[in-house]
Amino acid sequence: MRFSAGRALGVTCIVLTLSGAAACRRRPAPAVAEAAPPLAALPPTAGGPTAPVSPSPIAPLSPNARTEDERNTVAIFREAAPSTVFVTQKQRVATDPFGFDTEEVTAGSGSGFIWDAQGHIVTNFHVVQGGRGTSLTVTFFNQREVPAKVVGVEPRKDIAVLKVTAPADMLKPLRVPQTFGLEVGQKTVAIGNPFGLDHTLTTGVISALGRQVQGIGGVAIRDMVQTDAAINPGNSGGPLLDSGGQLIGMNTVIFSKSGASAGIGFAVPVSTIARVVPQLIARGKADSIGLGLNILQRGVANVRGVVVLGVPAGSPAERAGFRPARRLANGDIDADIIVGIDGKKIDNYDDLYSALDAHKAGDKVDVAVRRGEQVVTLKAEAILLNER
């Protein structure tokens, strides 16, 4: 296909739920209010005395009476709260003009959850992303604080894995489902540390599935879970659970003008977490699947698809039939344009990345390529890239 190059940018505004507030300790529950006095008989009216009116007898409620939904919520919190942690990023700053004296201050905070009994903690990448001189601590349900180190990160999915050393009785993993079927309307329970208030619970429902949100890694995160459970700064990295107490996703971003919850929050889906986290634990980075092509990642004006710039000699891509771009005598560029993967339309690099992300190395991929005025289908092989 021939075209003249131009650039197009799209901007999506999000609020990452990272909090700089210090952790607050749980306070004693307020005293129970005194019972209201019994109803008195009505006074006589102007028309003459009337008999006292007694209210209908009402059986006193048990102080522990709860609805079925309340009992379910309480049970979820009791099970999952010990598996939810408070992640704090600290930094040493100078306290005098000469830099001789320093003190450690909180640079940011968020939430996380225990992944396994070996001490791996899952949280958001933007919670632990920091500059030089920063350190991380994890505070458990029993208020014990331990240092943590980063094992691996995947910025494009906003996922990070930490490692802590703690007693076995403190390392209670969350339950992760074996299948990932979700439906709009399902109950959701979010546990986290909004504004530094540790182990705060909110409830809601799955408002929508398959949402796309621009991630901190510069690539859109697909298949996000949308919920109306209140998510505020500091909830980042905390678990989103279903009515069975199993993981639905990891709370990540909110759409809000004020920065506080507006009833629209998003979570990285559990299917993505379950695939990426083991890779980060094993290798410190997530698998990056591609076609082995040199492609143009930015958009080109009036061109739908992804432009192929180069094809390495002897590569699977060359064997599949891809052609490198070339400049014609009139100055136009003649290049293959990827417009589909396995029947899915590809409009830009985000589409291509997401389509290939569903594959593993060695998979055969049907690639629709616009070549001149025709669209041809090439049988390509997905390969593991070593770009990072």
Q: Is 158 one of the catalytic residues?
A: yes
Q: What is the pLDDT of residues 35-49, one digit of tens each?
A: 444 444 444 444 455
Q: How far apart are CA 269 and CA 211, in angstroms?
A: 10
What is the pTM for the complete model shown?
A: 0.74
Q: What is the pLDDT of residues 221-253, one digit of tens each?
A: 888 999 999 888 888 899 999 999 999 999 987
pLDDT at 29 over 60: no
Beta bridge partner(s), residue 128: none
Structurally, how many domains does the chain consist of? 3
Instruction: Check whether residue 166 and residue 117 sit in a common domain.
Output: yes
pLDDT at 331 over 80: yes
Domain end position, chosen among 245, 266, 283? 283
Residue 10 covered by a domain: no
Q: Is 126 one of the catalytic residues?
A: yes
Q: How far apart are CA 238 and CA 247, in angstroms?
A: 10
Q: Percent of the chain beyond pLDDT 70?
A: 76
Q: Is 236 one of the catalytic residues?
A: yes
Task: Render 37-94 in DSSP notation, one character per residue.
Answer: PPPPPPPPBTTB--PPPPPPP-PPPPTT---HHHHHHHHHHHHHGGGEEEEEEEEEEE
Instruction: Check whether residue 84 and residue 118 sit in a common domain.
Output: yes
Taking a C-beta distance cutoff of 8 angstroms, is the pair 221, 212 a contact? yes
Residue 119 covered by a domain: yes
Q: How far apart are CA 285 and CA 277, in angstroms?
A: 9
Q: How confident is the model at residue 261 (pLDDT cuts 50, 70, 90)?
A: low
Residue 111 covered by a domain: yes
Tokens of 17: 């739920």
For the segment 66-77, the average pLDDT, to the nearest whole number, is: 93
Residue 225 covered by a domain: yes
Residue 36, Cβ neighbours under 10 Å: how many?
6
Averaged pLDDT score across all residues of the chain: 82
Residue 220 covered by a domain: yes
Residue 182 covered by a domain: no
Rounded alpha-carbon distances, angstroms, from residue 95 to 102, 288, 312, 357: 5, 44, 55, 47
Q: Which of 236, 256, 288, 354 is catalytic?
A: 236
CATH number of domain containing 91: 2.40.10.10
Q: Which of 111, 120, 158, 261 is catalytic?
A: 158
Residue 356 covered by a domain: yes
pLDDT at 265 over 60: yes
Taking a C-beta distance cutoff of 8 angstroms, is the pair 375, 368 a contact? yes
Which domain, by its residues, includes 253?
187-283
Q: Which of 120, 126, 199, 359 is catalytic?
A: 126
